[in-house]
Structure 1
Amino acid sequence: MFKLVQLLDDNAVRTLRDIAASGTFVDGKISNPHSRVKNNLQLHDAAAYERSSKILLDAMVRNADFMEFSFPARIAPPLLTRYTPGMHYGLHPDAAYIPLPDGQLRTDVSCTVFLNDPADYDGGALHVQLGNADLRFKEAPGVAIVYPSHTLHEVEPVTRGERLVAITFIQSLIPDVQQRNLMYELNEIAALEGGKMEPANFTRLQAVQYQLLRMWRR
C-alpha cells in the first residue's frame, strides 16, 4: 500500500529549495478554510508554482516506480508546503475530490516529496495509521512516499527548524487499492521473471495482466 520512490536528483532538490526560498508562502488554510487540523504554509506565487510543479510533474512521469505503483490517470500540480516550529497537520483522511481548473480530481493516491534533510528539523514526521500499526516517514531529500489517500495520516508538530515538502494527489486508472496493489505485484513478477518463462506461458501471463487492467480500469 506504500511505496518509497527516489524521485528527484540533487540538482532538482536544490532548484526547488531555491524556488521556495524566494517564493511567497501564505497560511495553508487558504485552500481549506474550514479545516480544524491544518496548520502550515503553502506556496502562493503563480510563477513559482508553475515552475516548481513542472519540475516535480516531469520527474514523476519519468519515474518508472512512481508510474507503475500509482497507475496515474491525472496528477494534481504538486504544491510546495512549509512547516515551521509549532506547525502541524492533525490526523485526517484526504478529501475524496479536489477542484482543479480542468475539473474535479478524485484522490486515490497521495504523495509527499521530501525536500530538506531530516536532520534540519525535529518532529514533522508523516505519521500514518494503518489499523493498529503506526508508520512514520521522514525521508532524505528527493524521496517521495506514495500511499492511499483514504488512510488516516498527520504531520506531527515541528519543534525545531523547517520542514519543506511538496504534496500532490493522483487519480488512478485503478481506483481500488487492493486491485491496484495486485496489478502492481503481477506486473513486477512479469518484469522480473518473464524472461525465464516459456514464451507460451509468458504470453498467457500477459493476457491475464491485460484483461485485469480492462476489468479494473476506470
Structure 2
Amino acid sequence: MINHPNWLLYEGFLSDEDCERWIDLGRQAPIQEAKTFGGHDTHRKTDIRWLSNEGVYQEMHDVFKHIALDANQYFQTTITRLPPLQFTEYSDVGHKYDMHHDVDYNRQDGLHRKLSIVVQLSDPEDYEGGVLTFAHTQNPEPSALIKRGSIICFLSYLEHGVSPITKGDRTSLVGWFEGPRWR
C-alpha cells in the first residue's frame, strides 16, 4: 500500500483473472446514461452500469468494504453505507470526466459521500489517455495507478478527473461510502 495524506493506493490488489471476471459481470448489467449531480453532462462522457450489492456482485462489494475499513482507519471519517457500485467504461475516443468532486452538498437526506474508491480493471496496454488525476494534491505514480487490479481510495471532496481516452477502452469500478454530512 502507498499512502498519502489524501489517498491510499493498493497496487495490483486484484488478480488479472479477478479483473476479467468483474468486467464480464459488469457488462451483464444494462447501460445507463451517465449524469452528474451538478447537471453538467458535457463534463462527462462515459458508459455506466449500476451493480447492486447482492447476488453475483456481492464479492465486489465485499472487496470495497475491506478497502473502506482499512482506509477509514487512516482517514478517520464516519461511514455508514455503500450504495450500488458504478461499472464505468471509457470506450470511445474523447470519453472523459472533467475535474469534479464526488460530494453532492445539496443532498437533503443528511448523507454525503465520504470515501471514493476506484478499481482499475483494464490492462494499461488496452488503452491510451484516461488517466485519473487530482487537481490540488500530489498525484500517485501513473504506472502504479494504471496497473491492472490497483485500487485507489480517497476523500470524496478531493477534486479529480479522468483525461480523454485517445485509444482503446478503459474500464473501472467505482464506489462511494457515505456517512453523515461533512462539517
The TM tier, using the shorter chain, reads: 0.7 to 0.9
Equivalent of 1:122 in 115, 118, 128: 128
Q: Where does residue 80 of structure 2 map in the other structure? A: 73
Separation of aligned partners in 2, 1:106 and 1:77? 15
> Structure 1's 67 and 13: CA in aligned 2 closer, same or farther, altered over 3 A?
farther
Separation of aligned partners in 2, 1:33 and 1:96? 8
Letter in structure 2 aligned against 1:4: L
Q: Where does residue 174 of structure 2 map in the other structure? A: 167
Structure number, greater radius of gyration: 1
Q: TM-score, normalised by structure 1?
A: 0.64
Give aligned pairs, total.
169
Separation of aligned partners in 1, 2:106 and 2:85? 13
Q: Where does residue 14 of structure 1 map in the other structure? A: 20
Question: Equivalent residue of 2:18, what SS?
Answer: helix
Separation of aligned partners in 1, 2:171 and 2:65? 22
Q: Which has the higher contact order (CA 8 A, sep 6+)?
A: 2
Q: Where does residue 106 of structure 1 map in the other structure? A: 112
Deviations 1:96-133 (A, max 9, x none): 3597xxx56311221111111112110001010125x5
Equivalent of 1:90 in 98, 103, 108: 98
> Structure 1's 167 and 75: CA in aligned 2 closer, same or farther, altered over 3 A?
same
Question: Equivalent residue of 2:125, what SS?
Answer: helix
- Contact residue 121 and residue 162 of structure 1 kept, 8 A: yes
Shift of 1:10: 3.9
Q: Percent identity?
A: 22
